[in-house]
């Protein structure tokens, strides 16, 4: 019970941390860029039309930056693609955006992912991959990461592997990232293990049951309603 309580507390903390980061990005980066954009447009309006080109060009590249930032933030908040298209397209899109931001190449191998997973399994899988990839970018110091995902009728396996710096597992981890994804796996009755050692790289293995107990209990009764809404 204590474990559940601290798990719940952790998840709430993580959510608040994520919100704080997004609020800051919204305020600082988007707010500031919009202010600059307004100034540039003002300037362009006051210039003779044959002189305004350069200023407008600057404004346009700022708009492009803003668009990619908004796309990134909405992906962080809730990967809409996961609900609309499923896990595989959402992961592919995540990898594309990750590589373009970090210049870290993702080697992805998968099997049996062309199917619909229960929403709670999809989001758990997605968040696990997302956190593991963010850790690789922040801590591993590598230019490539390997992601494996495969599923049979019962289980979805995920493995994220890098050959980077690694770290000491016995050091107390008061950070929230790894605790959070461990909690997410537990909440859907799955398992998540981390293997790492200094200089030896890091491997995260997750095993998520495709049919959770909650689903089994309601299966049959509400099975047909599963995809009709939330």
Ligand X SMILES: Nc1ncnc2c1ncn2[C@@H]1O[C@H](COP(=O)(O)OP(=O)(O)O)[C@@H](O)[C@H]1O
Report the partner that residue 181 touches, choosing among ligand X, Mg ion, none (CB closer than 5 to 8 A by kind). none
Task: Report d(CA 80, CA 73) in Å as an integer.
Answer: 12
Backbone angles phi, psi at 102, to 5 degrees: -110, -15
Task: Report d(CA 32, CA 124) in Å as an integer.
Answer: 34
Q: Residue of minimal CB distance from ligand X?
A: 177
Task: Report d(CA 143, CA 167) in Å as an integer.
Answer: 17
**Shorter beta-carbon distance to ligand X: residue 92 or 142:** 142
Stretch that binds Mg ion, among 42-50, 79-87, 119-127, 175-183 (CB under 5 A): 175-183
By the rule CB under 6 A, 130 interacts with ligand X: no
**Shorter beta-carbon distance to ligand X: residue 85 or 203:** 203
By the rule CB under 5 A, 196 interacts with Mg ion: no
Among 88, 106, 117, 135, binds Mg ion (CB under 5 A): 135
User: Could you tell me how many residues of this chain bind ligand X (CB under 6 A)?
Assistant: 15
DSSP type of residue 138? I
For residues 136 and 228, the answer to whether their CB atoms sit within 8 Å is no
Report the partner that residue 89 touches, choosing among ligand X, Mg ion, none (CB closer than 5 to 8 A by kind). none
**Shorter beta-carbon distance to ligand X: residue 129 or 136:** 136
The pair of structure tokens assigned to 201 is 């790289």
By the rule CB under 5 A, 89 interacts with Mg ion: no
Among 89, 112, 177, 209, binds ligand X (CB under 6 A): 177
For residues 196 and 203, the answer to whether their CB atoms sit within 8 Å is yes
Task: Report d(CA 98, CA 101) in Å as an integer.
Answer: 5
For residues 101 and 150, the answer to whether their CB atoms sit within 8 Å is no
By the rule CB under 6 A, 135 interacts with ligand X: yes
Task: Report d(CA 148, CA 92) in Å as an integer.
Answer: 12
By the rule CB under 6 A, 122 interacts with ligand X: no
Among 91, 149, 156, 178, binds ligand X (CB under 6 A): 178
**Strand, coil or helix: 155:** strand
Nearest to 169 by CA among 200, 143, 147: 200
Chain residues 189-228 in contact with ligand X, contact rule CB under 6 A? 202
By the rule CB under 6 A, 159 interacts with ligand X: no
Among 175, 193, 195, 222, binds ligand X (CB under 6 A): 175
Q: Residue of minimal CB distance from Mg ion?
A: 177
Binding site for Mg ion (CB under 5 A): 135, 177
């Amino acid at each position: 019970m204590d474990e559940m309580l601290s798990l719940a507390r952790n998840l709430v903390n993580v959510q608040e941390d994520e919100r704080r980061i997004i609020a800051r990005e919204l305020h600082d980066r988007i707010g500031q860029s919009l202010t600059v954009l307004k100034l540039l447009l003002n300037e362009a309006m006051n210039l003779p039309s044959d002189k305004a080109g350069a200023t407008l060009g600057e404004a346009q590249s700022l708009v492009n930056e803003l668009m990619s930032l908004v796309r990134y933030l909405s992906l962080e908040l809730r990967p809409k693609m996961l609900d609309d298209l499923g896990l595989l397209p959402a992961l592919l899109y995540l990898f594309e955006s990750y590589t373009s931001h970090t210049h870290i190449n993702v080697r992805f191998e998968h099997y049996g992912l062309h199917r619909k997973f229960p929403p709670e399994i999809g989001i758990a899988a997605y968040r696990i991959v997302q956190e593991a990839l963010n850790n690789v970018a922040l801590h591993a110091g590598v230019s490539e990461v390997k992601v494996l995902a495969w599923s049979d009728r019962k289980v979805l396996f995920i493995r994220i592997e890098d050959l980077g710096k690694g770290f000491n597992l016995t050091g107390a981890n008061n950070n929230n990232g790894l605790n959070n994804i461990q909690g997410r796996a537990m909440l859907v009755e799955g398992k998540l293990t981390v293997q790492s050692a200094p200089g030896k790289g890091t491997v995260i293995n997750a095993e998520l049951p495709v049919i959770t107990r909650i689903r089994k209990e309601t299966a049959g009764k509400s099975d047909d309603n599963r995809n009709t809404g939330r």
